[in-house]
């Protein structure tokens, strides 16, 4: 069975209480559980990781090579700033789908730029927790 890594970046551990008008009331634990359950439905093993540290994201991406078939990644604010995370995704040569809870293109101008988009097979934004499910489905289709 294929395995995918669902990787979450900074501040996503605060979901449920952090700016609910933007991110909703769903917690990261809810998202992780939904991703694992959906993985069973579509026939993939799911590992969920969250870190607030850029280096932690880079290390998790490196560790995915040889372990996972692909990545679903919400790098949070690092999406818009981190060449290191972009380079890590490119370096492991695993297909990745970038996801966001909010529609980053309808928000502040600085959020419109995604370094990750350059190295991902696609981007899904604005569907709340469902962005992750759509991202998993897209990755599974890409892997097929």
Residue 103 has φ and ψ, to the nearest 5°, of -85, 100
Which alpha helices (DSSP H) does 67-129 contain, by range?
83-92
pLDDT at 108: 74
Contact call for residues 78 and 108 (beta carbons, < 8 A): no
pLDDT for the residue numbered 16:
86
Burial of residue 43, with CB atoms counted within 10 A of its CB: 0-12 exposed, 13-18 middle, 19 or more buried: exposed
- How many C-beta neighbours within 10 Å does residue 106 have? 10
Residue 114: both structure tokens together: 């995604």
- The catalytic residue among 23, 78, 115, 132 is 23
Q: Provide the whole-model pTM.
A: 0.92
What span, in angstroms and rounded, lies between the C-alpha atoms of 139 and 137?
5
Contact between 58 and 102 (Cβ < 8 Å): no
- Write out residues in the chain with pLDDT < 50, as ranges: none
Q: Which residues share a beta bridge with 72?
A: 6, 97
Please report the pLDDT score of residue 54 as a whole number. 97
Question: What local confidence, expressed as pLDDT, does residue 78 receive?
Answer: 95
2-76+96-108+123-143 has CATH 3.40.50.9100 classification: yes
CA 39 to chain centre: 14
Query: 23 catalytic, yes or no?
Result: yes
Pick the catalytic residue: 38, 68, 78, 100? 100
């Amino acid at each position: 069975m294929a395995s995918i890594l669902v990787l979450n970046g900074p501040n996503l551990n605060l979901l449920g209480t952090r700016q609910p008008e933007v991110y909703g009331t769903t917690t990261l634990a809810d998202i992780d559980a939904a991703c694992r359950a959906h993985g069973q439905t579509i026939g993939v093993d799911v590992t969920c990781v969250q870190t607030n540290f850029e280096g932690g994201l880079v290390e998790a991406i490196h560790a995915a090579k040889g372990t996972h078939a692909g990545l679903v990644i919400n790098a949070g604010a690092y999406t818009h700033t981190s060449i290191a995370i972009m380079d890590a995704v490119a370096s492991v040569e695993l297909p990745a789908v970038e996801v966001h809870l909010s529609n980053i293109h309808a928000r502040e101008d600085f959020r419109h730029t995604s370094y990750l988009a350059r190295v991902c097979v696609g981007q899904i934004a604005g569907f709340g927790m469902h962005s992750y499910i759509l991202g998993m489905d897209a990755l599974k289709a890409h892997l097929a």
